[in-house]
Amino acid sequence: MVEPGLIKAAQAGDGDALISLLREIENHVYRTAYYILNNEQDALDAAQEALIRIYTKIGSYEEKAQFKTWVQRIVTNICIDKFRRNKPTISIDEHDMVFRDSHTVEEEVLSAYAVQDIRKAIDKLPEHHRAVVVLRYLQDFSYNEIADSLDLPLNTVKSYLFRARQQLQTYLHDYQKGGVRG
């Protein structure tokens, strides 16, 4: 949590305060970029761009928004822009959303998913679903905070998060089954 006093000082033109502020948020900014873009180099670029933007726009931050959601809005916007430039958009509707594995319930031994597998699965999600998941799990944001950050209605946030989780679960489950049997 960033000290409100530090933000005020930075906004008032205290350069050192602004730099300290950036240092406090740089890991958060990077983490979001890393999991949305799923690539270290892109994440480094996007996070630096976001920090520069925060540096230049600090004056436009208004206290009515939470600072952390303001920051995450900046970084997710940059990431989504980058993401759009890098990859063709896929709609989640194109993927199979049906539960199709009910017959295997009993024989399955559930084990924790590997980090790499989760990242691969996240990488298959459309941009906004991905951003919602990242804010929920990597930034520990509430529905409302996600809605503020992404400028989305609350219900949309929930529906994105639910569908994303369902989708991830399907990918991972299929993957795990494939791994066990194949």
Partner 1 sequence: MNCQEGMEYMQRQLDGDLDERESEALISHTRHCQQCAAMFERLQLLSAGLENLPKVTPPYSLVDAILPRLAELPAAEAVRAPVGERTQKQAERVVPVKRWTDRFSMRAFGGVLAAGVVVGLFLVTYQPDGAAKNDASLFDASSANMAMDSGKQSSSSESQSAPDDSEQNADEEVSTSSADRNTSEPEERAIEPRSKSIAGNDSGGSGSTDKGSVESDTYYVGEKQEKDPEAEAEAEPSQGKGNSPNYNFNITKDPSQESESAGNNGNVEEQMDAIHKQGILGETKNPQDESLSPDENYKAVVVQNELHVYHVADNKLLFISDPVSGGVGAIVWAADSKTLTYEARSDNGTVQMVVVDPEAGTSQVQSP
Q: How far is the CB of 52 from partner 1 (least distance, A)?
A: 6
In the three-class reduction of DSSP (H, G, I as helix; E, B as strand; rest coil), residue 89 is classed as coil
Q: Rounded to the nearest 5°, which phi and psi values hold at 153?
A: -65, 150
Q: What is the DSSP letter of 98?
A: S
Residue of 9, 2, 48, 3 lying closest to 29 (CA atoms): 48
Query: From residue 142 to residue 171, what is the string marking binding to partner 1 with x (rule CB under 8 A)?
Result: -x--------------x--xx--xx-xx--
Q: How far is the CB of 37 from partner 1 (least distance, A)?
A: 12
Q: Measured from the CB atom, is 19 or 64 closer to partner 1?
A: 19
Instruction: List the helix and strand counts (H, then E) for the chain.
Output: 8, 0
Query: From residue 112 to residue 131, what is the string marking binding to partner 1 with x (rule CB under 8 A)?
Result: xx-x--xx------------
Q: How far is the CB of 35 from partner 1 (least distance, A)?
A: 7
How much of the chain is in helix, strand and coil states, percent to nearest 5?
A: 75, 0, 25
Binding site for partner 1 (CB under 8 A): 15, 19, 22-23, 26-27, 29-31, 34-35, 40, 43-44, 47-48, 51-52, 55-56, 99, 102, 105, 108, 110, 112-113, 115, 118-119, 133, 136-138, 143, 158, 161-162, 165-166, 168-169, 172-173
